[in-house]
């Protein structure tokens, strides 16, 4: 089993030192940066937009890294082109925000980037059934979206496992991402259930340890459990 990818979420970073903090994550070996876009409508919080993606692009190019943009916004179709022009590599939209999900996924692909589809904790996996072969990344929210620093919802592990089975059954190589409450205690079970991309915000950018130390601890915690099961 290949090791899962750790995707630092900049939502928890110190925005006054954003470039520096992202540089630390790259130096520690990360190849994904997760960018949380919130509009104050789909979720109660407001965060950032295409300007920040544009600012992150040159450094991502330097490290050949992926900018993984998670759109927690209503009517995401209106902004897809803006995020692609700003430099996103993956655009993930929420099932709950897309009445015409198939059209949205096609539009993302036609813009030349990878489409991702996210599910809130209460949304059943059945919502993905018809779109399964057409998407490059599936995101299981393991908290209700909108804020960093929340606790992992334990039921998420079974949901990840069931999605893993659905993807394996059709031979899909899509990424299976988990987002919310990932830390040293929870990363192992999410990885063991079949997640291939683990998003972590507050477990990476915090006052307790350096970004590099936090990444090392999370990587160890993830590999211990995947080794036991994989």
The yes or no reply on residue 94 touching ligand DX5 (CB under 6 A) is no
Q: Which of 39, 89, 136, 179 is flagged as catalytic?
A: 179
Q: What angle do CA 61, 65, 66 make, to 5 degrees?
A: 110
User: Is 50 or 145 the residue whose CB approaches ligand DX5 more closely?
Assistant: 145
Pick the closest to residue 158 from 136, 143, 175, 142 (CA basis): 142
168 as an active site residue: the answer is: no
Which two structure tokens, joined as six digits, stand for 217? Answer: 């601890």
Please select the residue that binds ligand DX5; options are 124, 149, 154, 230, rule is CB under 6 A: 149
Q: Total binding residues for Zn ion by CB under 5 A?
A: 3
Distances (CA, A) of 40 to 96, 118, 203: 15, 18, 24
Q: Which of residues 25-84 bind ligand DX5 (CB under 6 A)?
A: 34, 36, 70
| Candidate list 90, 91, 135, 182; residue touching ligand DX5; CB under 6 A | 182
- Residue 189 as a binder of Zn ion (CB under 5 A): the answer is no
Using CB under 6 A, pick the residue from 4, 8, 76, 201 that binds ligand DX5. 201
Burial class (CB in 10 A: 0-12, 13-18, 19+), 226: buried
Q: Which of 160, 153, 165 is nearest to 176 (CA)?
A: 160
Active site residues: 36, 179
List interacting residues with ligand DX5 (CB under 6 A): 9, 11-12, 34, 36, 70, 143, 145-150, 179-182, 199-203
């Amino acid at each position: 089993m290949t090791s899962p990818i750790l995707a630092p979420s900049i939502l928890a970073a110190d925005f006054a030192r954003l470039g520096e903090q992202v540089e630390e994550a790259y130096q520690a070996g990360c190849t994904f940066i997760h960018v949380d876009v919130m509009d104050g409508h789909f979720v109660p919080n407001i965060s950032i937009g295409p300007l920040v993606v544009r600012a992150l692009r040159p450094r991502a190019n330097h490290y050949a890294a992926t900018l993984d943009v998670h759109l927690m916004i209503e009517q995401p179709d209106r902004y897809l082109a803006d995020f692609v022009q700003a430099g996103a590599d993956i655009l993930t939209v929420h099932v709950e925000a897309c009445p015409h999900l198939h059209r949205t996924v096609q539009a993302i692909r036609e813009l030349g980037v990878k489409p991702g589809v996210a599910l809130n904790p209460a949304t059943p996996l059945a919502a993905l059934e018809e779109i399964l072969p057409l998407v490059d990344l599936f995101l299981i929210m393991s908290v209700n979206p909108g804020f960093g620093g929340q606790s992992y919802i334990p039921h998420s592990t079974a949901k990840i496992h069931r999605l893993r089975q659905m993807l394996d059954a059709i031979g899909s190589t899509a990424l299976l991402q988990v987002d919310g409450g990932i830390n040293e205690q929870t990363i192992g079970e999410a990885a063991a259930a079949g997640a291939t991309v683990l998003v972590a915000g507050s477990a990476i950018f915090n006052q307790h340890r350096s970004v590099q130390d936090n990444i090392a601890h999370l990587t160890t915690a993830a590999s211990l459990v995947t080794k036991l099961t994989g």
